[in-house]
Amino acid sequence: MSIEILPAARERLIGIWQYSAETWGDEQADKYVADLVAHARALASRKSLWRSLREPGFHGVFCSRFRHHYIFFREFTDGAIGILSILHESMDLPHRLKEDIDLD
């Protein structure tokens, strides 16, 4: 199974890298984002990491926690997964997720 990092998630990754680089330096930012993407790739083969969202309006959306971030994704009909968003635990998750995805 493969993954596709969708545009909103890609923008979030860039922001995570920028914040991490400003706070802890480029090397640590590179490592954190690489580890985050590795976790996202692991989702494709390890459904035990998947948690279904139960909030209204998020049917078919799953999440998985990686350190201080949540990776939100859905499974495509071909079995691949699409990474919808990546949000920090301190954010208003439902609000930010609605900003990042269109479920219609």
Residues in the chain: 104
Domain 3-100 has CATH 3.40.1260.10: no
From the list 30, 60, 66, the residue with the least C-alpha distance to 46 is 66
Residue extents of the structural domains in the chain: 3-100
pTM value > 0.85 = yes
- Judge whether residue 57 has pLDDT over 60: yes
- Judge whether residue 104 has pLDDT over 50: no
Residue whose tokens read 């909103």: 8
Q: Is 60 exposed, middle or buried (0-12, 13-18, 19+ CB in 10 A)?
A: exposed
Q: Distance (Å, rounded) from C-alpha 84 to C-alpha 11? A: 10
In percent, how much of the chain has pLDDT > 70?
Answer: 97
